[in-house]
Amino acid sequence: MGKLSAVIAGIISITLLAYFEIAGLFNPLINLLGPFLGYKFPLLIGILGLVAGNPFTNLIILISWVIIGVVIGVFAGKGLRAAGASILIFSLTASFMALIFLSMFNMDFLTVNITIIEKKFIDISGVLPYIIPAISIVSIKNEPVISTLYSIITSLISSGSTSGLSITTFKPLIINVVENLVILIIVSSIVGSLIKRKKHVDTKKVIAAISIIIVLILIFSVIIPQANNSNNVNTVSNQNFALKNLSLSEPMQGSLNIITHNGSLINSVAFASNYSGNKNIAFAAVVLNSNLSSISSGFLNNNLAFSRFSGLIKLMPDSLMIVLSKNSYTPGSDGTGNLLKISGMTNPETLYNSTYKGFNLYVYGQNVNFSKSANAMVNSYNTNLSLFNVMKGNVNNGYFIPGANSKSVTSSVMAYGYGNYSLIFKNNVTGDKEFLLGIFEKKDVYHSSGSYHNLSLSGIINYNKTIVFNKGTLSFMGLIYPNTVNNKVENRGMFYTNNQTLAKNFAYSSNATYNYTSNINPDTVLYHVNYTFPAYIYFNISYKTYNNRTIIYTTMENKDSSTLRNVSISENTFVNNYNKTGALSLISGSPSVNGVTLKPGQYENFSYTVKLNGPGEFVPYANISYSMNNKSFNAISNTYIIKNPGENWLKVLNSVFIPLFDSLGVSFLATSLIGALNVNVFDVILLLIVILDVFIEVRSRRKK
């Protein structure tokens, strides 16, 4: 074979491995951005990962370049020819990436328009926070290339300046590119040298040569200096906070339970005991979360700002560790090893670190098993407080674990750690604390079924035994709930504490009752609520995909005892958001219904057909409104996931060249010849070139 065959075979190998293997390393990013950037995005990000990814930390990249090198060497037939083909292929790959990027925006090298690209990303950034699937920033950060870029960006943010941005900033990526090129040249050259014309190829020698290559590469990976991804930050002079007469010496336990206006139940608990820790750590805590985006939604409901916030917060990993230290810190040192252990963070990723007012701030993240970590967290906190026993029991039985059973909460967030406040404040302030916090929400607990409700505290906190407020421990417990008086909705509260001064200080209105007591029996505390909660409804979105079309089915059932009137179900926001960025096209049907009446037990169904223009995860949801018992309600449904698969490899390759063909006036090259196989004129021409090259090579062999 010759150089032309080697180039064609090498480029085909690169695109195949990039699309089907390397792109898989970027699945979280493809799920997030694929719907907006289209089917060419996995090919582009796959080639980028192959070219600029670290071959020594991502073994699949190393293996891929070895395979490509072998293919080029075999087709080239000579070592020097293989080396030249490798350099040419690498150069063509860079040009091909640029062509893919431009074709994503229907442009080519002749019609580059920065405004089009800028507008696309502005549209995406405006829409994305509302429709982010459950993808953790840690999973994206760990992807090849992205991990290096992330370190560069956070370093620039920490330094507070981009003045140092230059080509040397991207040195780690440049080193990766050079390493991958060197691997390709070495492998292809050696294999090409072993493939002698008119001689039998010794398979054992080929295998031995490849093995030696891999060993040498691994040795070079140790010898060649790798880029330092640590963040370099500017140290700010020490400026301590001045806070006098601070006293936090008393241990404490507290609980605040809230019944929201939309019928959700939020339980929160807080514990703090005396602590004397390492003098370097001013504050250290681990935070676990599960479906955190739904917490507090009952207060904000359809608020636009919350919709954006709840979307972005999905990027938070399951577990975070936050450390504030006086001096430098490494994960697990200075007594924080136990925090990592109980949180399940076996390999924490550095998300951010900076220096501020004399303190070093570190933020680490990792995806963990929430249920396992939550149990470890409460079981590691050693106390005999009654409220803690309530929390511990609810965690251990799964009530405070989202998805553990039918009675478990919808979302949960917990924090465990300690603070050495004497390090933060002046005048040797005492009151250093070890603390445990938890917020747990269960959605749609209370529904209308009439306006009057009789509730007990034992049902609200899932505990029916006497709670003792220990002497010498500041104890506080309360409930806030909605109530209607003279057709006016107001928040009412009932609170219990063993601190008389605290009880007096909290008496801020006639809508709250404050009790000074040493114990409480939840079974004897009853609440009479006069309030119409939202209806009990069942809502579901499902879909079917066929012939590049997706039918979305929406079902809503009235499971309440009251009739729902003027029911409106609209998925227009979902459709418009994706349509704005070109990710979705409405083909037929309407994504909404209006003015429907649903009696108890009745359903409302509708469907519509869309074309999803990219791979990844689409996130549909609905805005719902209705009236019941002369009261109007608005709600946002849960978000759902539509997983759209990737496109045929050959079709994606062909689509890359369409904008170029159009600009050159040779659009006929993109004409489909065999639709089922996605074969067009351009493919046939390439095939003829390969056949011609083979014919020339065969004749050349016969002449020698």
- CA–CA separation, 54 vs 144, rounded Å? 7
Lowest mean pLDDT among 13-27, 434-448, 544-558, 682-696: 682-696
In a domain, 129, yes or no: yes
Interval 323-350: pLDDT, tens: 999 888 989 888 899 899 999 999 888 8
53 plus 170 within the same structural domain: yes
Give the C-alpha separation, 365 to 367, whole Å.
7
Mean pLDDT across the stretch 384-389?
A: 89
Are the C-beta atoms of 130 and 119 separated by less than 8 Å? Answer: no
Mean of pLDDT values over 205-226 = 47
Q: Is 665 exposed, middle or buried (0-12, 13-18, 19+ CB in 10 A)?
A: exposed
Encode pLDDT of 506-565 as tens digits. Answer: 655 567 788 888 889 998 888 888 888 999 999 999 999 887 899 999 999 999 988 999
pLDDT band at 443 (very low <50, low <70, confident <90, very high): confident
Question: Which of residues 697 and 653 earns the better pLDDT score?
Answer: 653
Closest CA to 103 of 113, 89, 88, 91: 113
Give residue-wise pLDDT tens across range 80-119: 889 999 999 999 999 999 999 999 988 877 777 888 888 8
50: confidence class by pLDDT, cuts 50, 70, 90: very high
Domain membership of residue 234 (yes or no) is: no
For range 218-229, the mean pLDDT: 40
Query: How confident is residue 153, by pLDDT bands cut at 50, 70 and 90?
Result: low
Same domain, 292 and 419: yes
Compute the distance between CA of residue 331 and CA of residue 329 in angstroms, rounded to an integer: 7
Say whether pLDDT at 238 is over 80: no
Task: Give the C-alpha separation, 351 to 172, whole Å.
Answer: 18
The DSSP output letter for 425 is: B
Is the pLDDT confidence value at 430 over 70?
A: no
Handedness of CA 20, 98, 95, 655 (dihedral sign): positive
| pLDDT score, position 106 | 83
How many residues comprise the chain?
Answer: 704
Beta carbons within 10 angstroms of residue 229's beta carbon: 14
Residue with token string 């309600």: 633
- Using the predicted structure, report yes or no on whether residue 451 has a pLDDT greater than 80: no
Q: What is the 3-state secondary structure (H, E, C) of 444-504?
A: CCCCCCCCEEEEEHHHHHCCCCCEECCCCCEEEEEEEEEEEECCEEEEEEEEEECCHHHHH
Is pLDDT above 60 for 163?
no
Cα dihedral 216, 220, 222, 223 sign:
positive
Q: Are 139 and 25 in contact (CB under 8 A)?
A: no
Q: Is residue 336 part of a domain?
A: yes
Angle at 661 between CA 37 and CA 84, to 5 degrees: 85
Nearest CA to 286 out of 363, 399, 398 is that of 363
User: Are residue 285 and residue 433 in the same domain, yes or no?
Assistant: yes
Spatial separation of the C-alpha atoms in residues 659 and 657, rounded to whole Å: 6
Predicted pLDDT at 359: 87
- d(CA 222, CA 276) in angstroms, rounded, equals 43
For 523, which DSSP code? G
| CA distance from start to end of the chain | 14
Q: Considering the domain boundaries, does residue 436 fall inside one? A: yes
pLDDT of residue 243: 31
Same domain for 162 and 69, yes or no, is yes
195 and 297 inside one domain: no
pLDDT higher than threshold 70 for residue 226 = no
DSSP state for residue 537 in the 8-state scheme: E
pLDDT, position 505: 62
Q: Which two tokens stand for residue 576?
A: 């418009």
Share of the chain above pLDDT 90, in %: 34
* Same domain, yes or no: 277 and 181: no
Residue 687 has a pLDDT of: 78
SS3 201: coil
DSSP string, 61-76: HHHHHHHHHHHHHHHH
Q: DSSP letters of 117-178?
A: HHHHHHHHHHHGGGS--S--HHHHHTSTTHHHHHHHHHHHHHHT--TT-SGGGGHHHHHHHH
Q: What crossing angle do the helices spanning 171-194 and 79-103 adopt, rounded to 10°?
A: 140
Token couple for 413: 């967030």
In this predicted model, which residue has the larger pLDDT, 156 or 632?
Answer: 632
User: Where is the domain boundary, 401, 421, 442?
Assistant: 442
pLDDT at 218: 45
Residues 438 and 289 in one domain: yes
Take residue 135 and report the two structure tokens written for it.
């993808």
C-beta neighbour count of 152 within 10 angstroms = 18
The tens digit of pLDDT for each residue in 644-677 reads 998 888 889 888 888 888 887 788 888 877 776 6
Q: Which domain holds residue 600?
A: 537-639
Report the percent of the chain where pLDDT is more than 70: 83
Query: Higher-confidence residue: 703 or 583?
Result: 583
pLDDT at 429: 56
Residues 159 and 289 in one domain: no
pLDDT at residue 364, rounded to an integer: 92
Do 218 and 274 fall within a single domain?
no
Instruction: Single out the residue of 450, 454, 436, 324 nearest to residue 383, CA to CA.
Output: 436
Rounded Cα distance, 336 and 343, in Å: 11
Q: What is the mean pLDDT of residues 387-392?
A: 92
Q: Is 311's pLDDT higher than 90?
A: no
Mean pLDDT of 449-467: 86
Q: Which of 189-203, 397-411, 475-489 has the lowest mean pLDDT?
A: 189-203
- Domain boundary, last residue among 381, 415, 442: 442
Looking at the 3D structure of the chain, how many domains does it have? 3
407's CB contacts (< 8 A; 6+ apart) are: 398, 399
Residues 411 and 295: beta-carbon distance below 8 Å: yes
Shared-domain flag, residues 334 and 387: yes
175-199: average pLDDT: 84
- CA–CA dist 687, 685 (Å, integer): 5
Q: What is the DSSP letter of 647?
A: P
How high is the pLDDT of residue 570?
Answer: 95
CA atoms within 13 Å, Cβ hemisphere of 225 = 4
Tokens at residue 173, please?
Answer: 């990526």
How many angstroms separate the CA atoms of 297 and 120, rounded? 30
Is 312 in the same domain as 436? yes
Average pLDDT (9-15) is 90
Q: Which amino acid is at 628?
A: M
If you average pLDDT over residues 676-701, what whole number do you get?
74
**pLDDT (0 to 100) of residue 316:** 86
Is 50 exceeded by the pLDDT of residue 229? no
Domain presence at residue 97? yes
- The answer to whether position 679 is within a domain reads no
* 483: pLDDT strictly greater than 80: yes
- 667 membership: H or E segment, kind and range: none
Alpha-helix runs per DSSP H in 406-475: 421-424, 457-461
Q: For residue 569, count CB atoms less than 10 angstroms from its CB and return exposed for 0-12, middle for 13-18, buried for 19 or more.
A: buried
Lookup result for tokens 């670190």: 353
Determine the 3-state secondary structure of 488 from DSSP: strand
In a domain, 438, yes or no: yes
Q: Given this model, what pLDDT does residue 635 score?
A: 84
**pLDDT top residue among 171 and 68:** 68
Average pLDDT over every residue of 169-179: 86
CB atoms within 10 A of CB 595: 8
Instruction: State the helix-helix crossing angle for 649-664 and 40-52, rounded to 10 degrees.
Output: 100
The predicted pLDDT at position 224 comes to 40
Q: Which pLDDT score, from 0 to 100, does residue 304 have?
A: 54
Strand partners, 496: 477, 515
Same domain for 214 and 326, yes or no, is no
Q: From CA 170, how far away is CA 162, in angstroms rounded?
A: 13
Q: Does 491 reside within a domain?
A: no
- Judge whether residue 48 has pLDDT over 90: yes
Residue 323's Cβ-count burial label (10 Å; 0-12, 13-18, 19+) is buried
Tokens encoding 168: 């040397």
pLDDT band at 290 (very low <50, low <70, confident <90, very high): confident
Among 402, 426, 442, which residue terminates a domain? 442
Question: Mean of the per-residue pLDDT values for the chain?
Answer: 82
The whole-number pLDDT of residue 232 equals 27
- Spell out the residues 6+ positions from residue 429 whose beta carbon is closer than 8 angstroms to its own: 243, 246, 421, 422
Pairing of strands 252-259, 474-485: parallel
